[in-house]
Amino acid sequence: MTSPPDEYQDIVFLTVKAFDTATAAREALSMVGPDTTIVSMQNGLGNVEILAGIAGKGKTVGAMAIFGVVVLAPGSVQVTSIASETLVGEIDGGLTPRVEALAWMIDRAGIPTRASDNIMREIWHKALFNIALNPLSSIFQSTYGQIADNPHIRRLIKEMITEAFCVAKAAGMDLGMDSPDEYLEILWNQKLPPTRDHRSSMLQDIIRGKRTEIDYINGKVVELGARYGIETPYNSAVVMMVKAKEVLGPA
């Protein structure tokens, strides 16, 4: 994050790693005025709630984006793939003039975007994508396409997503789907194909010797499972393997 400007901003985008959300949100308060909107455009679960707790629920907007990027230099990134349109929305649901205007602005900037009347569900949908692919891409050092083509990994992903569905239901989140199989059909046939050549940001973090967001992706499934008395052995194992990779580094 760069140094905050000395004046209030109309919109502040929070795009930091999940483990830096609280720190970045507090640092951003100096540029938050009466009419400022802060947008959480991040990976993982729990970011919106943290941001709302610091900046205020009325100033917080959630966003869901699934596009791959590669960092070329500080402040310079290259978009490598776009799996779906970006969504923005009020955390309590519904469509408002500010999220409609925000969606229009991002769309005009060249990133396909629309407003959502259920952004928290959409954030969970993105989390499912990350739960399935991010850690396994980093563990096996593979592209998403290589993961999709391996029947053993696909079976593992089915178990991980099934656990995520169970904890989401226990947490009161309606995913809008009847079963994990319905989501997996969408994943394999719609979400994944445009990103077949992509390697996860989690793998990029491991290669660079950086901390990953595993605690806020699969780790959040494990955390919610413990809270609601649901066993999550597959996600638990994946979390431990990624944490081991953080220490060991790439092969």
Tokens (6 digits) for 96: 């408002």
What is the residue extent of each domain of the chain? 9-117, 120-248
Which long-range CB contacts under 8 A does 168-172 form with residues at least 24 apart? Answer: 168/124, 168/224, 170/224, 170/228, 170/230, 171/224, 171/227, 171/228
In this predicted structure, the answer to whether residue 68 has a pLDDT above a threshold of 90 is no
User: What percent of the chain has pLDDT above 70?
Assistant: 97
pLDDT at 2: 55
Q: What is the architecture, at CATH level 2, of domain 120-248?
A: Orthogonal Bundle (1.10)
Q: How far apart are the first and last CA of the chain?
A: 31
Q: Average pLDDT in the 167-192 region?
A: 95
Tokens (6 digits) for 143: 């592209």
Q: Which residues participate in catalysis according to the annotation?
A: 126
Q: Classify 9-117 by CATH class.
A: alpha beta
- Average pLDDT of the chain, as a whole number: 93
Tokens (6 digits) for 63: 């966003």
pLDDT tens-digit profile of 80-136?
A: 777 789 999 999 999 999 999 999 999 998 889 999 999 999 999 999 999 999 999
The rounded radius of gyration (Å) of the Cα atoms in the chain is 18
Q: Average pLDDT in the 15-26 region?
A: 96
pLDDT at 4: 58
What's this model's pTM, rounded to 2 decimal places?
0.89
Q: Which of 63-67, 178-182, 220-224, 237-241 has the lowest mean pLDDT?
A: 63-67
In this predicted structure, the answer to whether residue 194 has a pLDDT above a threshold of 90 is no
